[in-house]
Amino acid sequence: MAASKQNFMLEPPSFISPISLLIVVAPYYKKIADKLVAGARAEIKQAGGSSELVEVPGALEIPTTIAIASRQLDFDGYVALGCIIRGETTHYDTVCNDSSRALQLLGLQGVCIGNGILTVENSKQAQDRADVSRQNKGGGAALAALHLIALSQKWGQSKGKVGFLSSDEISEA
């Protein structure tokens, strides 16, 4: 049984100055989402950070929201939260794969993101993973973002952009 398995966890990072994170959640399954948010907020608070919360319609909107925020706002990192439960159609696969892929692409551009979008077969699995006293995947996603922020601060500012340039950036070059 996966719930009884013990995995190695890194110690939470520490920060010299306060950090702020944006938690982006798709509350389609509201009770699950609320537990994920509670876990994320607790980890951020324990690290001495602050957070803001924004709700979006679904998991596919999470990466777009983070991309907009990373260009227009001043957060140190982001926590992506939501839950996708397999249904009767292949829509599940599309939402899981595309939301994950988009978050990964943002991460490869240097955006510090913890991915806590649950992809599960049933409601029981979602409840176990969201529960703060059990698997606490919301807290785990926040810790992932915190570790990436710590690495980013340790290694200093970006030496240049990575990825595709927008048409505005091309015309400026």
CA distance 6 to 76: 30
User: Once rounded to an integer, what is the mean pLDDT over residues 135-154?
Assistant: 96
CATH no. for 18-157 = 3.40.50.960
- Sequence ranges of the domains in the chain: 18-157
pTM attached to this predicted model: 0.87
pLDDT number for residue 162: 52
Count of alpha carbons within 13 angstroms of residue 72, beta-carbon side: 6
Which one-letter amino acid corresponds to residue 86? R
Question: Catalytic positions, please?
Answer: 91
Per-residue pLDDT tens over the stretch 20-68 = 999 999 999 999 999 999 999 999 999 999 999 999 999 999 999 999 9
User: Once rounded to an integer, what is the mean pLDDT over residues 86-106?
Assistant: 96
Distances from the Cα of 128 to the Cαs of 8, 121, 124, in angstroms?
19, 12, 6
Q: From edge to edge, which strands make up the β-sheet containing 77-85?
A: 50-55, 20-25, 77-85, 113-120
pLDDT number for residue 19: 96
Per-residue pLDDT tens over the stretch 15-30 = 989 999 999 999 999 9
